Structure 1
Amino acid sequence: MQPAAQAAPAAGLPVRAGEERWTDAELAEVRTMLEEEMATLREQIAAAESAIAEGDSSDGAGDDQADAGAKTYEREHEMSLANNARDLHDQNERAVLRMDAGTYGVCESCSQPIGKARLQAVPRATMCIPCKAREERR
């Protein structure tokens, strides 16, 4: 990931008609939030991977079916949490990279502005509301 100093100027990022241009302070605030969330997600991933590894160390000898089932469920739950955290981390990282490239706020589907208000609410958004709604209906 590139340092913030190499980021594209905030004023050059696209916005929808009627929206104010991004300020450097607003973009820095969103970026800081994304980076802090990425740090938290890395900790969650490490904790989940540790829990999975600890579960692998027990051989399960002597477990009855209920114990084995509970262990399997717990392992799958930890794997699911780790995968979800990885997905969110990757989405946040992509958002920061789009900031650096000057493409933050461009819908990946229609190439129109996503909207500043949407990005402030969902900073990792990659699509404008109409395109996202169309995708979810499929």
Structure 2
Amino acid sequence: MTYGTPWGSAAVPFGGISTPDALVDPLPLEAVFTHAERVRSSRGRTVQHWAGRLAAKYAVLRLLGVDGDPAAGRLGEVEILPRPSPLCGRTAACLHGHPPGVRLRGALRGRVEPGTRVGVSISHAAGLALAVALASAPLPEDGPENDEDGNG
């Protein structure tokens, strides 16, 4: 795929929202977040963490050229989970700051050229989660153990 720009961004407001279900309404939580994301986010995480993960999903979809109404149906095809780190033996199970990793599922996998890394950065402000997704060449820390399906 040739990208118009090598990045996509998104913001998700979460002020006044108290549950993940309300964050994604009218979509069911299971359609937006994968099983692994729901398990990871349910462990003492606040709505701001769910909102950050949702913003990252939208940023990736914008990077891939999927925007507007069709994007809502594709959110579950983007999985955002902590990347394993060589500095932490607990890897993705660690509750400390591991950078987020992107795994694409279904038809979205074909939208990324082999050898391309899709990375995201997530930030939170008062009542707002922000994310930027980037397409780049693989980084040295993107070894085979971190990139089993070819998309960072």
The answer, yes or no, to whether TM exceeds 0.5 is no
Q: Which has the higher helix share?
A: 1
Q: Which has the higher strand share?
A: 2
TM-score normalized with structure 1 length: 0.26
* Greater gyration radius: 1
TM-score normalized with structure 2 length: 0.24
